[in-house]
Amino acid sequence: MTDITKRKTLTLPRMSRKELTAGLIFLAVYIFALPVLVPLIGKSVFPKAESASLTAVYYLISFIAVLVIFKRYLLLNFRRLTRAPSRVFFTLVLSIAAYFVFTLAVSLFVSMFNGSVNPNDAGIAEEAVTGRRAILASAILLGPLVEETLFRGAIFGTLVKKNRFLAYAVSYLVFASYHLWQYALADFSPALLLNLLDYLPASLALGICFEKSGTVWAPMFLHAAINAAALLTV
């Protein structure tokens, strides 16, 4: 069992120490600094700027930063993608199926506790009404590349070499907390802890997709598909 786990882990492209260090620093900036600074500066310079436009700016800045920091890593992963497109395709199909199964299981569990509406989802839905193009660009084009490089590439890809359970657990907790920490600071309620489970199906499916495909581009595509499907209901 140990040998099989090691072989699976070794198929994942590795980040250089420089990429990982810079990436983890930017991850902190991405989670804690930019979500505060972009609206603050944006509103002071452009008072009439819509929230959806500021969200797009946030993701655009992050997109550029990730391309600069992880250029070598992303190209390495892209070569993996082009060498085995059929494997990536079938991994995506299986990961989508896994995502729906996980979603059903989590939904059934949450329904027992009368869970509240996820405030992040509600915020995105509200932004989509006034700035649909900006939200579509953020959620489908920019966000998946940024978040999969950081959450799956940097966190999951580093930890999975040591412990697969830890890789899934930590990448999920950071991924889920990233979406909700501002709401917890503004008005914490126990329901927010239950909302963390909303991100478990995607996090598990994205981790599986990355691990089984051997390229971070596969979970990027899956992430984009999940976001696109969610926005279709808005």
- Structure confidence at residue 3 (pLDDT): 38
- What is the reported pTM? 0.93
Query: What is the tally of structural domains in the chain?
Result: 1
- Structure confidence at residue 233 (pLDDT): 79
- Structure confidence at residue 40 (pLDDT): 96
H or E segment at 67?
Answer: helix 51-69
Separation of alpha carbons 186 and 99, rounded Å: 30
Q: Quick one: DSSP state of residue 31? A: I
- Structure confidence at residue 171 (pLDDT): 98
- Structure confidence at residue 1 (pLDDT): 37
Q: What is the mean pLDDT of each run of 10 residues along the chain (234 residues)?
A: 39 94 98 97 94 97 98 97 95 98 96 87 94 97 98 97 96 98 91 95 98 97 97 82
Residue 72: C-alpha distances to residues 19, 22, 66, 137, 163 (Å):
9, 13, 11, 24, 25
The whole domain housing 216 covers 2-232
- Structure confidence at residue 115 (pLDDT): 73
Separation of alpha carbons 53 and 42, rounded Å: 9
- Structure confidence at residue 4 (pLDDT): 34
State both tokens at 91.
């991994």
- Structure confidence at residue 159 (pLDDT): 97
